Amino acid sequence: MSTSAFVIGELSWPMTDHGLVAVWRAMPIDRSRWNDWGELDVGEHAGTVGALVDEMHDVPCTLEVHENGAHVRGRIDDPDAWQRLVIAWRAAADLGANGELVWCEEPRSVAYKATVSGYSSQWARLSSRERAALGFDDGAPKAPKKSARKAAKTAPKPATRKTRKTTRKARAKKRR
């Protein structure tokens, strides 16, 4: 088994609430709650989600937990930490959270995704195409890039005298 993993994840609570964060932090890290791990070995772990979050501050990985949800991105070198993170993400389903956590043990390795939705969670192995689209083949995962053509189309155009005049006329018509 690899000693490190690259992770990308987003989690959102069903409502803005500090209470949900407190409940999630108090949840135990317990892999036995799910029997669908199959080929994926996440080991046996102890502790709570809160202890894991507190430990993650010493890791060169961004993990933010707030009243709207959680966000994680980076490399975690301790296999115990990223395996517990996978279990914690799936446990958030009990609170009605929605989101995903994608992880890959080393570049060009198998990548997995945990999906949390509708008070349930599941994990799946990503195809090589999906893994490559996330940037796992080149090392650390990268944010998806916009093509130059698409970026030019979606970029706001500077206002010209003609467009300002047209806009004023359109607003005047709406007021009538």
Domain assignment present for 110 = yes
Query: What domain range is 62 assigned to?
Result: 5-148
- Within 8 A by CB and 6+ apart from 1, the residues are 41, 79, 105
Residue 73 main-chain phi, psi, to 5 deg = -160, 130
Domain assignment present for 162 = no
Residue 10: its pLDDT value, please?
A: 92
Domain assignment present for 160 = no
Domain assignment present for 74 = yes
What is the rounded distance in angstroms from the CA atom of residue 58 to the CA atom of residue 52? 11
Sign of CA dihedral 136, 142, 148, 151: positive
Domain assignment present for 173 = no
Domain assignment present for 99 = yes
What is the count of structural domains for the chain?
1
The pLDDT averaged over each successive group of 10 residues in the chain (176 residues) is 78 86 88 70 74 77 86 84 84 90 79 88 85 69 46 48 62 74
Domain assignment present for 169 = no
Domain assignment present for 114 = yes
